[in-house]
Structures are given as structure tokens and as C-alpha cells.
């Protein structure tokens, strides 16, 4: 599955056109913009997790959601500490805005669900979300990051998020 289709699957309307000079592409983001995307993606998943804790009564969903909050909060702490050390600020960009817009729609959708329907939707979205973000990080961000410390942090983050992807996969299977 292409990255564009994956991102479309999680509610993002992102143009990944490469040819026109005015088109916005994740491949064109600089380190500070990439850092902003990562911070935004972490916060979105934390938000989904809080929604799950509020709506779901499934203990496995709760365990997963608590891990998302724990781990994504830790990654954000490390990212902010690194940016502080480098004396830079993350920079807002088209991709962060698209992620936020897409997540608003999903929160509205999931907030209207209950019971098994919510659990299934949450689990499926977590799998799709982690698959899409992991592919973006591995194939586009990491190869393009210039600062070695930022690159190392993203490589560490990718390891964490791949474990989340596996956990989400197990969760989806258990709910079938």
C-alpha cells in the first residue's frame, strides 16, 4: 500500500504530488518541521487513548491506551529536551495541520460510538495510524533528517512505534 493511500485511510487529505514545485511533500520538510509533525502525531495518539479510556470498558483496550499515553508522553519529553538542548523550536507546517484536521474528524466519529463498535474502530484506527506514521518516519523522515541527534531520536521512536503497531495488530485480531 502506498503512503498516500495509508494516510488517506486515516483521514488525511495530503497531497503527496512530487512534480509541481508548489506542491507540499513530507520529503521537503526540514528537521524542525519533522520534529513538529512527530510531536503532533504523539499528541494525537495520546488524545485517542484518553478517549478510549473514557468510552471503552474493555480491559485490553485500556491496557493499550495506557501504554500509548505512557510511551508517547515519554517520546515527547525526550524530543522537547533535545530541542531545548539544541536551542531550537519545532516549526508548524502543512503536514501537522493535516494530521490535526484528520484527527478531529476521527475523534468526532469515535466519540459517537459505544461498546464493541467503539473498541473495533479504535483498534483498527490505531493499527492504521501506526502503520502510516511508521512508514512515513522510516521511509521519508529518517533518511531526510540532517541533525544526527534528531535522527537518533527518531530511530529510537520508530522502534517504540513498531512495537505499538504489533500490539495494535494483536488487539485487532483479538476483537474479531
Partner 1 sequence: MHRRTLLKRLVAAGAATGLAPSSRVLAGRAHRVEIKAFAFVPARLKVAPGDEITWINRDVVPHTATAADESWDTGTLDQGQSATLTVSEGMQVRYLCAHHPSMVAELVLD
Residues near partner 1 (CB under 8 A) = 63, 66-67, 70-71, 74-75, 78, 156, 159-160, 162-164, 166-167, 170
Cβ closer to partner 1: 7 or 75? Answer: 75
Q: CA dihedral defined by 107, 109, 55, 119, rounded to 10 degrees?
A: -110
Helices first, then strands: H and E counts in the chain: 7, 0
Which is nearer to partner 1, 100 or 160 (by Cβ)? Answer: 160
* Contact in structure between 111 and 51 (CB atoms under 8 Å): yes
Q: How far is the CB of 166 from partner 1 (least distance, A)?
A: 4
Q: Are 70 and 53 in contact (CB under 8 A)?
A: no
- Shortest distance, CB of residue 84 to partner 1, whole angstroms? 17
Choice between 24 and 138, CB closer to partner 1: 138
Shortest distance, position 9 Cβ to partner 1, whole Å: 22
* Cell numbers given for 8: 488517506
Amino acid at each position: 500500500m502506498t503512503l498516500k493511500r495509508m494516510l488517506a485511510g486515516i483521514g488525511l487529505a495530503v497531497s503527496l504530488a512530487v512534480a509541481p514545485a508548489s506542491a507540499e511533500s513530507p520529503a521537503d520538510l526540514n528537521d524542525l518541521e519533522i520534529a513538529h509533525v512527530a510531536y503532533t502525531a504523539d499528541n494525537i495518539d495520546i488524545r485517542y487513548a484518553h478517549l478510549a479510556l473514557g468510552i471503552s470498558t474493555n480491559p485490553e483496550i485500556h491496557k493499550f491506551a495506557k501504554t500509548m499515553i505512557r510511551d508517547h508522553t515519554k517520546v515527547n519529553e525526550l524530543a522537547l529536551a533535545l530541542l531545548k538542548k539544541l536551542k531550537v523550536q519545532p516549526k508548524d507546517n502543512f503536514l501537522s495541520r493535516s494530521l490535526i484536521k484528520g484527527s478531529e474528524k476521527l475523534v468526532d466519529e469515535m466519540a459517537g460510538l459505544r461498546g464493541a463498535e467503539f473498541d473495533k474502530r479504535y483498534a483498527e484506527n490505531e493499527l492504521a495510524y501506526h502503520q502510516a506514521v511508521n512508514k512515513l518516519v522510516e521511509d521519508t523522515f529518517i533518511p531526510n533528517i540532517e541533525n544526527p541527534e534528531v535522527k537518533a531520536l527518531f530511530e529510537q521512536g520508530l522502534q517504540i512505534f513498531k512495537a505499538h503497531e504489533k500490539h495494535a495488530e494483536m488487539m485487532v485480531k483479538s476483537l474479531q
